[in-house]
Amino acid sequence: MGGMETRGLLRRALLLALLLASVSAIFAWSIMRDPRSGRQVVERVMLAQARSISDLITESGVHASEIYSLWEDGLAERLLDNARWVAYQDSLSPLASADLRRIAAVHGLGRVNLFDRDGTRIATSAPHREEAGLVPRHDPIDTCIRPILEGRAQSYRVGFKEARFHGGMRFAVAVARPRGGAVAVNV
């Protein structure tokens, strides 16, 4: 029985060694696998966050564009209302530059111009820089009132345009005058 006990002990020791080796192998495998799978989890989370941020930026851009368009529409309507009112007042009694200066100040307008049917400026709320020897960058007839003078429109939304004499942009509209010609308003 001494040999059998030794064999049993040897088997148990061998079984214990195999079990210990298996557990060690599994433990080593899980240690090696864990950083890779952890990194993959982190990469998936970061990718999901990046997609969410990208979607949020895209959606914000769409909303900003819609809001800007609504703002621009509101500004155009306000300016068109002012231009129509000036045209109406001018139809009752011809307006002079002093009248236009007062109207521009009261309504917060950058400039109000009256043009006759030939496109000649007959009154303005602000003196033009041509008198100071500056050369305009563009002609208001071409950029602002041609559709009205040619009878193609009763009102015209110019939108943003470059200032004639110095840097910056102006938002402008124009309407037909009952006497012929146009009223142009900008901010």
d(CA 136, CA 126): 15
Six-digit token string for 187: 């901010």
Q: What are phi and psi of 168, to 5 degrees?
A: 115, 170
| Strand partners of residue 176 | 182
Domains in the chain: boundaries: 1-187
Q: Please, how many CA atoms are within 13 Å of residue 15, restricted to the half-sphere of its CB?
A: 6
SS3 at position 29:
helix
Nearest to 182 by CA among 154, 142, 152, 143: 154
What one-character DSSP code corresponds to residue 131?
G
Six-digit token string for 139: 């002609």
Whether 79 contacts 186, CB under 8 Å: yes
What does the pLDDT read at residue 24?
82
**Cα 20 from chain centre:** 67
Residue that has been written with the tokens 């007042």 in this structure: 89
pLDDT in tens, the chain (187 residues): 566 677 777 878 888 888 888 888 887 777 776 666 777 888 899 999 999 999 999 999 999 999 999 999 999 999 999 999 999 999 999 999 999 999 999 999 999 999 999 999 999 998 765 556 666 555 667 668 999 999 999 999 998 887 766 667 889 999 999 989 999 999 9
SS3 at position 134:
coil
What does the pLDDT read at residue 144?
83
Whether 154 contacts 138, CB under 8 Å: no
